[in-house]
Amino acid sequence: MSILTKTRSEIPDPGLKTMRRRPTAFAFSVVVLSCIVFAAVFAPWVAPYNPDQLDLFNVLSGPSPAHWLGTDASGRDTLSRLIFGARTSMLGPLIVVIGSTVLGIALGLASGWFGGIIDAVLSRVFDLVFAFPSLLLAMLAVTLFGKGLAAPAAAMTIAYTPYVARQVRQLVAAEKAKPYVTAYGVQGFGTPWIAFGRVLPNIVPTVGAQSTLNFGYVLSELAALSFLGLGVQPPLSDWGSMINESAGGLMSGQVIPALVPSVAIVVVVIAINIFGEHLSDRIGGKLPS
């Protein structure tokens, strides 16, 4: 939800400091994220079964030594689908976060460095994109270009770019006013060298921390699209579509197949948020404001 991102970057939140400074919370987030990244990368070796293998004699079996988290309505192993689902569920947000960060840095740098008409035009464009909530833009993109991961990821990248760009623009404007930039200019160094070689490295950590926080929002938004049947398409396993496929079984008391991916999403988003907040707090402490 883009509105959360906006608020996060705009409203200082001293309330979270007590949480951020907790080493246990940070350690928890690191452990959780490492485990999930490990499972996602090495999915074929970690998962006990083939995630797409149907076993119609073993449908909706509860947790057992053979199937730790039971099976779904088609007899597929829930744990294996969870592990393979981590790949698609994390790949989307990764693409969006990297894409919007790179684009946002480029546009924000141009806007903050040159100012004037470039800044004015870009700012209006950002304002227009801000008017489109990211999930809405993704739905429009799906209507135009079809279901799957590509269209929503592209739309989401566009929707998140202005948030990054605006932050970069402010940071660049602040950096540009510092004596070291003038000093380099006086010594005859070129603008591109100062901008990319000297200013950029100073702002990247702050921007990176904010982008880490975006990851959680993008993850839940893309999962929402899959849940609605508009994102990642079956038979690919994805946490959102796993919930979608198992929602019907909820009525008959089959809670586990829907609950497992739900818990996975919540745990990852919590871990990412704690991790990102810790990061931005540490970096925020180092940078002179």
Partner 1 sequence: MTKGGLPRVVLGKIAVLVLTVLAASILVFFSMYLVPGDPVSFLMRGRSPSPEAVKAVSEQYGLNKPVLEQYFNWLANLLHGDFGRSFQYRENVSTLLASRAGSTFWLVVLSGVIIGVFGLAAGMVAALSRGKVADKAILIGATGLAAVPSFVGAIVLTALFSVQLGWFPSFGSGQGFLDTIYHLILPAVALALTFIALVARVTRSSMVEQLALEHVEVATSRGMTRTRVVFRHVLRNALNPILTISGMLVAGLLVSSSIVEAAFGLSGMGSLLVQSVDRMDFPVVQAIVLIIVALFVLSNTVVDIISAFLDPRTAAGTGAR
Nearer to partner 1, 14 or 285 (CB): 14
Please name the residue that has the structure tokens 């929402």. Answer: 224
- CB of 255 vs partner 1, minimal distance in Å: 5
Helix (H, G, I), strand (E, B) or coil at 147: coil
Instruction: Give me the least distance between CB of 144 and partner 1, in Å please.
Output: 5
Minimum Å distance from CB 36 to partner 1?
14
Cβ proximity to partner 1, 113 vs 239, nearer residue: 239
Tokens of 69: 């988290």
Residue 14 or 288: which CB sits closer to partner 1?
Answer: 14
Task: Kindly state the smallest distance separating residue 18's Cβ from partner 1, in Å.
Answer: 6
What is the distance between the alpha carbons of residues 193 and 184, in angstroms, rounded to a whole number?
A: 9
Q: How far is CA 210 from CA 32, 84, 196, 202, 275, in A?
A: 20, 27, 20, 14, 11
CB of 99 to partner 1, least distance (A): 18
The CA–CA distances, whole Å, from 54 to 51, 77, 207 equal: 8, 8, 44
**Residue 172 or 271 having the CB closest to partner 1:** 271
> Is the separation of the CB atoms in 223 and 239 below 8 Å?
yes
173 vs 259, beta carbon nearer partner 1: 259
Which of 55, 115 has the CB closer to partner 1? 115
Least separation, in Å, of the C-beta of 256 and partner 1? 10
Q: How far is the CB of 246 from partner 1 (least distance, A)?
A: 9
Q: List strand residue ranges (DSSP E) for 91-174, in order.
A: none
Which residues neighbour 121 within 8 Å (Cβ) at sequence distance 6 or greater? none
Q: How far is CA 33 from CA 27, 40, 246, 275, 276, in A?
A: 10, 10, 25, 9, 12
CB of 42 to partner 1, least distance (A): 25
How is residue 59 written in tokens? 């449908």
Residue 172 vs residues 191, 198, 285: alpha-carbon distances, Å:
13, 11, 18
Residue 137 or 207 having the CB closest to partner 1: 137
Residues that bind partner 1 (CB under 8 A): 1, 3-4, 6-7, 10-16, 18-19, 127-128, 131-133, 135-136, 139-140, 142-145, 216, 220-221, 223-224, 227-230, 240, 243, 247, 250-251, 253, 255, 258-259, 262, 265-267, 269-270, 273-274
Cβ closest to partner 1, residue 39 vs residue 268: 268
Q: Is 151 exposed, middle or buried (0-12, 13-18, 19+ CB in 10 A)?
A: buried
Cβ atoms within 10 Å of 48's Cβ, excluding its own: 11
Identity (one letter) of the amino acid at 205? P
